[in-house]
Chain A
């Protein structure tokens, strides 16, 4: 399957142990060299460039207005064909992709874009766990349910731009509901944090229930999510997520591939 017209041409970091995420080269053949994907969110960085792919103009406009209210984000291209949109905006940092385009599920497209290093955030009204998990396996950075609203959308796109996976409540629920025999092993605390986050949509409530800090809740949720980056086919985006997770101290390099044994350890990383 061919990648996008102007995908990154650097090999992804192997096994997530080397090459921090900011080694990504998003230079396009036609455009100017793009700044590294690192720290786009931090002060002084330029705004994150977002491409929106959806076959319903009204949805495109709705998302555009959500993102417009956030100065750190700018929409650079929209349309109903991912290839056309990415040709128009080869330097887009994040692709917001409606999973159902013209009546067909675009999971294959997610695989193709993720393999080429595109940071894909899938959003859809199809929230059955099988679909959500298939999208993660395909290499999407995050899954957003259409009903989850502006706040989660902005948070997801900002996190994706810096190769961090934000976990919206629906995604948390799908991970807790994962019944596949080969699913990644989660610790009890990680499961509980995910479940309560899905049920309440409030990390503060989860923190009170679990008698831990909000920061620790976020760590449990993010660690559970990172365990899912190794499922399915390898993709450049997954390597970038793992590299950033190591950088952030969410997991240790030696833990990659040894999740089974680690699942029993409930201590959040300091």
Chain B
């Protein structure tokens, strides 16, 4: 039976993780189904080669029309081979023609093998119909298999009655029918059950994995928020506390600088939590934006597309520049030069000589930092190179 394609949600559907089948569920269902197909093939060909073929060959000379019996055997073997190739590649089968052909061969083999072989293995069609019908009807409803096996039983009944059967023959017929029907049907039911169970187990496992992933993501988002809050506390919190307690005078230029720095950091942290395609540039723009609102003419030039940069690296790249930018009061040139594996950011501002040192945030990310003044300009550069 082919994997039910309804196991994958339709595109655009919202997925409830508790019931959504995942690639894992599909894969497990597919692999257990493949194992069942191989088992069915082995049984059908085992029967056909190890039971039917020797019986036909050993009794060749006594068969009524040996070439018809042998030709039928070969035709079913070839049709089975064709079905096997398509089954193993997971492709659809022309079930109807194959099954009809199988029953026709079965009906021909009865008279071709002769009366004395009615209940003999050389009359191989009777016992073979069930096993090959499983192959031909793989993935189709069980009732079709039952119907095919029933048709085989009817063909056999006509043959038995046509030979003037007595009560003993009829009871043998009954046993025979039971023998050739029960096992193939049991195999088909088993395979279907196994597939359903495997898919359900995989679905349950992937649902629980999805829940775990969501829980981890939520925990991580919360941790990131806490970290950002701690960073904000370290800057804005202190200034606000000093202002509230009257320890800081809003008229004092140093306090104003602390406020500007805290605002810059806040703005950058808010930008950091935004979900945007190019976070690095987004954070730089946020810093530039804040400076522009204070009346600074910021010239922001970007060349190249920055590669994705982890948050800690981004912080170390942008923070020192955002801090310097928060102290500028007339103009600044901010440039980004990016290649697929490196980013260099530079901030050139007039050197006012009154500015405190900017310390890059601690961390072990490989970000080079440089802050140089020559009396005319202050030149702050950060550079990150992928390892």
Contact = CB atoms under 8 A, between A and B. Distances in A.
Contacts of B377: 200, 202, 205
A125 to B, nearest CB: 12
Given A128-B303, A129-B303, A199-B335, A208 B340 contact: no
Nearest to A205: B377
Interface residues of A, number: 22
B333 A201 contact: yes
A36 to B, nearest CB: 37
Contact of B348 (A128, A174, A179, A199): A199
A127 B379 contact: no
Contacts of B374: 205, 208-209
A231 interface: no
B348 A205 contact: yes
A177 B335 contact: no
B376 to A, nearest CB: 6
Contacts of A7: none
Given A128-B304, A173-B337, A177-B303, 15 more contacts: A127-B303, A129-B303, A169-B301, A173-B301, A173-B335, A195-B344, A198-B301, A198-B335, A199-B348, A200-B346, A204-B376, A205-B348, A205-B374, A209-B374, A209-B379
B214 interface: no
B376 A198 contact: no
The B interface, classified by DSSP as helix, strand, loop or mixed, is: strand
B379 A174 contact: no
Nearest to A201: B333
Given A177-B304, A179-B339, A205 B333 contact: no
Nearest to A173: B303
A63 interface: no
B368 to A, nearest CB: 14
Contacts of B372: 209
Contact of A205 (B303, B305, B379): B379
B303 A170 contact: yes
B303 A174 contact: yes
Contacts of A208: 374, 376
Nearest to B339: A179
Contacts of B303: 127-129, 170, 173-174, 177, 198
Interface in A96-131: 127-129
Contacts of A176: 337
Interface residues of B, number: 20
Interface of A: prevailing SS: helix
A200 B372 CA distance: 13
Contacts of A179: 339-340
Contacts of A199: 333, 335, 337, 346, 348, 379, 381
A38 to B, nearest CB: 34
A215 B339 CA distance: 30
Interface in A185-214: 195, 198-202, 204-205, 208-209
Nearest to B304: A177
A173 to B, nearest CB: 4
B161 to A, nearest CB: 85
A141 to B, nearest CB: 20
B30 to A, nearest CB: 43
A174 B304 CA distance: 8
Contacts of A145: 301
Contacts of B379: 199-200, 205, 209
30 contacts: A127-B301, A128-B305, A129-B304, A145-B301, A147-B299, A170-B301, A170-B303, A173-B303, A173-B335, A173-B337, A174-B303, A176-B337, A177-B339, A179-B339, A195-B337, A198-B335, A199-B348, A199-B379, A199-B381, A200-B377, A200-B379, A202-B377, A205-B374, A205-B376, A205-B377, A205-B379, A208-B374, A209-B372, A209-B374, A209-B379
Contacts of B338: 177
Contact of A200 (B304, B333, B339, B344): B333
Contacts of B376: 204-205, 208
Contacts of A209: 372, 374, 379
A177 B348 contact: no
Contacts of A174: 303
Nearest to B347: A199
A100 B319 CA distance: 36
